[in-house]
A and B are shown apart, each in its own frame.
Chain A
Amino acid sequence: MNRGILSVAIFLAASVLTASCAGGHFFIVATSGTPQTTPVHTAFGAPLVVTVTNGAGKGVKGVKVTFTAPPQSGPSATFSGGSSTATATTDSNGVATSPVVTANGNPGGPYTVLATIRLSREPALFVLNNSGGTAAGISCVSGTPQTAQVNTAFANPLEVQVVDSGGFATNDPGVVVTFTPPAQTGPSVTFAGGVNTATTNAAGLATSVAITANGNAGGPYNVSASATVAGALQTCNFSLTNTSIPVTTENFVFYASGMEAINNTTGPNFYAVSGVVTIETAGPNPGQVMGGEQDYNDAFGITSPEPSGDSITGGQLTVSSTTGQGTLTLVTNNANVGGASGSPAGTEIFAVQFVNASHALISQFDASATSSGSMDLQTSTSAPGGSFAFTLAGVDSSYNPIVFGGVFTVGGGTFSAGTFDVDDFGTVSIGNSFPAGVVVGASDALGRGSVTNSSLATTINYYVVGPEAIRIIDVDTTDSALGSAFGQGAGAFSNSSLGTFVFEDLANPWYGVYDAAGILTTNSGAGTFQGVADLNEDGTISSDVAISSAGTSYSIAANGYGSLTIPGGVLGDVSVLGVYMTDPSLNLNDPNNTTSGTGGALIADLDTLLFGTGVIVPQTSTSISASATNLAFGAQGINASNIEEYDFVAQGSITALALNASGLVSDPFDIITGSPLENGTTFTGTATADGANPGRYTMSPLVFTPPASGATNLSVVIYQAGGGQLFVLDEDDFTLFLGPVEKQAATVTPLAVVRAKTQANANLKQ
């Protein structure tokens, strides 16, 4: 160590020790700088000065003095660097001087700053006051910058502070601040309840109500705040940005078949349409159709070009978030389709009735054609693989009705096994094998592919809904048909695979002269069944028909291929049904529903006089809930006098068996009224349980009231398969229809923004 420095240190220590010993105590007193007052955020006029003396009253040099201000949460002061403490060392006179002292932002006082030394227990005290600042302007202190998605609330309100000339907050209550957003034609905000003013509180702070980004993306943009302070208009700006909602799209596979009103040179034609449509389900334009492809085929001059099919170039899904009801408009590049009822050529409109966010019943609703079908969320685009059951119904190359049904196993781009039945206008052929060399082409990006050499048709196109649900459409120019193929899961079926079930047998739209439904219970050992059924055959009603086991028979092979026979004449001309078992975990009406209504089979009516397809659904419940339940339903019907088709989709509630519903009726042949499109048709009636046949109900009348015509009383029978799945069959001599009734989910639209708005509205009402 440097000898000089060591000498000084020893000297100072000796001095202090000597002083202490001599006097016993050191003393510290505030010499100057107290009391003082200064506005917040300003420096006090004088530093804080102390003098340290020994017991003899002599100033002591070299004593470290610590100045400590109160906590900064209240009125206080800071030293250089913003610290609450500072130190200084006494000079030869025992005097120590603090750094510059500045009042903090909290007005008030008096408060005390302490000066302390180690050798004295008694501090020196400095009494200080922070006076309030003088309001001179306003500052946008919180809520800027901020970002929010369009149509959603910003996280924070806008806050304005009255400030002094230095920009420091002042306590000025009662100042009215006005917030002015940009015009709503561009990116902007809206204020809850339209309140765009706020008044400062005791601390001089004004807080806006909740603000929400409007529907226009963009920014940053300014929301100005203005207030009169110090006699002048003062302003500040908040910087906000509205971001676009991230675009989410979903693909939906649709299919429908029915009767065509355009291309009507010889009379109404059969037609089928199937496709996949990409819909923006979340984003700036919810419901906008982003693209897609389809196949349309009336086998009488309007067949989509193959292999491309039609391109879907635009359109819009509009759907009510509360009812799930709406329309789907598809703009295609095929000028031959649609184009009726004021729509441009190539534009098709479908009525849609969502059951849940991924499943809707549909009907063409543009007067160019009428049909029934469904639309389902696509969960896979991969080419089909595995074992499937299928049915297909349409017209053959002679333009006579034809139905197919069967099972097949597909893999590696071909069929490895399969058996099918066909009823070609009364010529029934059972147990046919698929030829060798069936080609199952690869699927495209939208899950569309083709099957050739199947012997069902020259070319059948498929649209994949999911790994076990496929829509199929015959795209030959001379014949047309539509159907579905459903996976069979693990397979291994037997007679025991059918227990008690509800069946629906829906006529081929091209010969829609009958519809049938019923409940049957199998006796697997005997291979017989019994039950009850209803049939409307050409306006001849066979109601509540008891089917005894005598003479009945059925069989199900291990591959799920089977048949079921009702003795002739017991149920009109309904006698032979082909049965094709499906995966027990599939809901055949709603293939994305894996939790309820699952299991069953496809059926094909293989009678000489009747041509239809349908489904078998295990009966798991026989009682309709007495509490209010929302239902979606639809049906394909005909005018029995001249076999012209109408279709409808509808929605409503049933409470204590009383139905109150409304829907859209497609009636291009003017069967019902002078209008081909009947929006707002009501359906009302009360069901009566059939005590002898649990799960069977009648409703007479079902009052059917299109808005443009008078009410018509219909008689219907309802068969319940489960809590969420029923079928309704019309039993009138002038009309007949059959269709599914499905329990609606809480969410009945796939459009996220619509759902969000609904939720927001609900919240506001609360």
Chain B
Amino acid sequence: MLKFFSFHCVKLRNADARENHRPVELCASSEHAWAAKFFGRCKMTRLRAAVELLLLSALICIALPTSAQTISAVATHPSPLSYDVSKEITLNGSVTSLLAKPEPGMVMGAHLVIATSSGPVDASLGWFALRGKDGLSVSPGQEVAVTGVKRTINNRQVFLARTVKVDGQLFTIRNEHGLLLSPQARERLSRPAGDKEVQP
């Protein structure tokens, strides 16, 4: 993994580099300029990258050992969006980092990395959780309770978060089908009952 990331962290000059008069590292293959933008600018040092990679390795090796056993059983044509609400668990821990964009290898969308009693966990927040006026807002060190299900997607372990509780406030990320709630949907859900339209 470390080698993989070292290979893919290339030094490119871009607008940020010009501003800072130094090269900026992008997490991307040099032959995939567009992909680099999709995954976001890492703006991290190699040391930080290595630390995060170790963290991800730990995720796979420590936090979700039972799921790891299912890697070999992944379907040939997986259903990455499926969500079984009956298998929900709640993890308690403190926030290590909040990633607005995934690192290479992560499932798409934002990620919340938390330290739990059993080790670090990568909780997938999807695409909408951080958007909007009522988007999830947490800081490193904050205690959170994340409810969701463990999944293996693309041979990687991930915890699909449905709700995140911070300081007594509950953020709903997904519905019971695992479908992500957009900020617009969250806003309409939060309206008083009388303000809700009846729609098709």
Closest residue to B105 on the A side, CB-wise? A733
Q: Say how far A650's CB is from chain B's closest CB, in angstroms.
A: 16
Instruction: Give Cα A456 to B200, complex, Å.
Output: 6
Q: Which residue of B lies closest to A477 (CB)?
A: B197
The answer to whether B128 and A538 touch across the interface, beta carbons within 8 angstroms, is no
A240-B80 Cα distance, complex, nearest whole Å: 74
Flag if B200 contacts A402 (CB, 8 Å).
yes
Looking at A569, A609, A641, which has the most chain B CB atoms within 10 Å of its CB?
A641
Chain A residues lying within 8 Å of B80, measured Cβ to Cβ, are 537-540, 572-573
Report Cα–Cα, A409/B77, bound state, in Å. 39
Is B15's beta carbon under 8 Å from chain A?
yes
Please judge, given known A-B contacts A540-B153, A641-B108, whether A397 and B200 are in contact too, CB under 8 Å: yes
Q: State whether B154 touches A712 (Cβ < 8 A).
A: no
Across the interface, do A735 and B182 meet the contact criterion of CB distance under 8 Å? no
List which B93-128 residues lie within 8 A (CB) of chain A.
100-102, 107-110, 127-128
Cβ–Cβ < 8 Å partners of A610 in chain B: 81
Measured in the bound complex, the distance between the Cα atoms of B41 and A674 in whole Å is: 13
**Contact of B79 with A by CB under 8 A:** yes
Min C-beta distance of B136 to chain A, whole Å: 13
Q: B79 and A267: CB pair below 8 A?
A: no
* CB of B32 within 8 Å of the partner chain: yes
A535 in contact with B77 given A712-B33, A712-B34 (CB within 8 Å)? yes
Q: Does A503 make an interface contact (CB < 8 A)?
A: no
Residue of A nearest to B78 (CB): A540
Query: At the interface, yes or no: A608 with Cβ under 8 Å from chain B?
Result: yes
A399 near B182: Cβ-Cβ < 8 Å? yes
Interface presence of A170 (CB below 8 A): no
A712-B131 contact given A537-B81, A538-B80, CB 8 Å threshold: no
Residues of A within 8 A of B35 (CB): 712, 732, 734-735
Contact between B77 and A570, CB atoms less than 8 A apart = yes
Is there a chain A Cβ closer than 8 Å to B23's Cβ? Answer: no
A686 in contact (CB, < 8 A): no
A610 to B179, alpha carbons, bound, how many Å?
A: 9
The residue on B at minimum CB distance from A642 is B127
Q: A266-B184, A542-B78 are in contact. Are A397 and B175 (CB under 8 A)?
A: no
Q: Which of B33, B34, B184, B197 contacts A267 (CB 8 A)?
A: B184
Docked CA distance A422–B200 (Å): 9
Q: Which residues of A contact B184 (CB under 8 A)?
A: 266-267, 269, 300, 395, 399
A266 touches B187 (CB 8 A): yes
* Given known A572-B80, A674-B15, contact A710–B154 (CB-CB < 8 A): no
Q: Mark out the residues of chain B between 32 and 55 whose CB falls within 8 Å of any chain A CB in the assembled complex.
A: 32-35, 37-40
Contact A609 B82 (CB under 8 A): yes
Q: Please, how many residues of chain B have a CB less than 8 angstroms from a CB on the other chain? A: 51
> Closest Cβ of chain A: how far from B177's Cβ, in Å?
4
Q: Which residues of A contact B178 (CB under 8 A)?
A: 609
**Once bound together, how far apart are the Cα atoms of A405 and B29, in whole Å?**
42
- Distance, CA A639 to CA B100, complexed state (A): 14
A426 touches B175 (CB 8 A): yes
Q: Which chain A residues lie closer than 8 Å to B73 at the CB level?
A: none
Q: In whole angstroms, what is the CA distance A476 to B101 when docked? A: 34
Q: Which B residues lie within 8 Å of A712 (CB)?
A: 31-35
Does chain A have a CB within 8 A of B169? no
The residue among B77, B107, B133 with the most chain A CB atoms within 10 A of its own CB is: B77
Across the interface, name the chain A residue whose C-beta is closest to B32: A712
Which of A266, A425, A511, A672 is in CB contact (< 8 Å) with B183? A266
Expressed in whole angstroms, the minimum distance between the Cβ of A640 and any Cβ of chain B is 5
| Contact flag A424-B200 (CB < 8 Å), given A267-B182, A641-B102 | yes
Q: Determine whether B198 belongs to the interface, using a CB cutoff of 8 Å to chain A.
A: yes
Residues of B contacting A673 in the complex (Cβ-Cβ under 8 angstroms)? 37
A537 near B197: Cβ-Cβ < 8 Å: no
Max chain A Cβ within 10 angstroms of own Cβ: one of B79, B82, B100: B79
Which residue in chain A gives the minimum CB-CB distance to B199?
A397
Interface 1/0 per residue, B156-200 and A, CB below 8 Å = 000000000000000000010111111111011100000011111
Chain B: CB-nearest residue to A299: B184
Instruction: From known contacts A424-B200, A641-B108, infer whether A266 and B131 are also in contact, taking CB-CB under 8 Å.
Output: yes
A267–B81 contact, CB under 8 A? no
Query: How far apart are the CA atoms of A670 and B38 in the complex, in Å?
Result: 10
Assess whether A398 is in contact with B189, with CB atoms less than 8 Å apart.
Answer: yes
Note all chain A residues with C-beta closer than 8 A to B177. Answer: 425-426, 608-609
Closest to A269 in B: B184
Q: Which residues of B contact A300 (CB under 8 A)?
A: 184
**CB pairs A–B below 8 angstroms (23 shown):** A266-B133, A266-B183, A395-B184, A397-B196, A397-B200, A398-B196, A398-B199, A399-B187, A400-B179, A510-B182, A511-B179, A513-B81, A535-B77, A539-B80, A540-B80, A542-B76, A572-B79, A609-B82, A641-B127, A671-B34, A710-B34, A712-B34, A735-B34
Not counting A266-B184, A426-B175, a sample of 6 additional A-B residue pairs whose C-beta atoms are within 8 angstroms of each other reads A400-B179, A478-B199, A569-B78, A609-B82, A609-B177, A641-B102
- A positions within 8 Å CB-CB of B: 265-267, 269, 300, 395-400, 402, 404, 422, 424-426, 455-457, 476, 478-479, 510-511, 513-514, 535, 537-540, 542, 545, 568-573, 608-610, 639-643, 670-674, 704, 706, 709-713, 732-735
Q: Which 5 A-B pairs have the closest CB atoms?
A: A397-B199, A710-B33, A712-B34, A399-B184, A267-B131
B interface with A by C-beta (< 8 Å)? 15, 31-35, 37-40, 75-83, 100-102, 107-110, 127-128, 131-133, 153-154, 175, 177-185, 187-189, 196-200
